Amino acid sequence: MFPVLLSLIIMLLFTTIFPSAVAVSVKLTVPDTSTICDKSMNQTFCESFMKSTAGISTADLAGAGGIILDVSSRSAAETEDYIKTQLAAGDPKLAEAYKKCLENYRCAVSSIADAKASLASKDYEGMNLKASSAQSETDTCNEAETDPVPERSRYMCNVLDIVLIIANKLQKG
């Protein structure tokens, strides 16, 4: 009897002193996804993205944010590489537009990395600010005459919009 009672007392003290150690992780549910996508600037994209992106359906809110930041990081890096390839091809008519977009995407890649670091340290306001910065950087290439960069930039803006919604939800707790 005494060992069981002692174990219960120790467990109670541990959970009182370190409540986050026993925090329950809440998975995203269909209503959560709907709540996120209802706030999105492109609901159809959001719903499709959330359903089709591996790992989101089994992740908690912060985990989903991390998965989506990983997707946006890969997409931004791929677009940056694409722009570099196009610049190397040397079309002088498009060179200036590509140069501007390349700089924007370099900044976006950096901002996304910073947003991931902010998420990891539970600095959700920082995550929000950095994701917003990345979204602004990619958004400037939406109007470029450098296909398929505008399409890729719209994709990035839509993905980062979801990140911003999640960051806001995480900030509110």
Helix, strand, coil percentages, rounded to 5, for the chain: 80, 0, 20
d(CA 31, CA 24): 19
What pLDDT sits at residue 165? 97
What pLDDT sits at residue 48? 96
pTM for this entry = 0.81
Helices and strands of the chain, counted as H and E runs? 7, 0
- How far, rounded to the nearest angstrom, does the alpha carbon of residue 70 sit from its chain's CA centroid? 7
Domain ranges of the chain: 25-172
Which of residues 110 and 87 earns the better pLDDT score? 110
What pLDDT sits at residue 33? 87
Which residues, in sequence order, are CB contacts of 24 under 8 Å at separation 6+? Answer: none
Model pLDDT for residues 48-61, shown as the tens digit of each residue: 999 999 999 899 99
1-5, 58-62, 73-77: the lowest-pLDDT one: 1-5
Q: Check residue 147 and report its DSSP letter.
A: T
Question: Three-state secondary structure along 1-60?
Answer: CHHHHHHHHHHHHHHHHCHHHHCCCCECCHHHHHHHHHCCCCHHHHHHHHHHCCCHHHCE
The fraction of the chain above a pLDDT of 90, given in percent, is 62
What pLDDT sits at residue 12? 41
What pLDDT sits at residue 76? 96
**What top-level class would CATH report for the domain 25-172?**
mainly alpha
The residue assigned the tokens 């359903």 is: 51
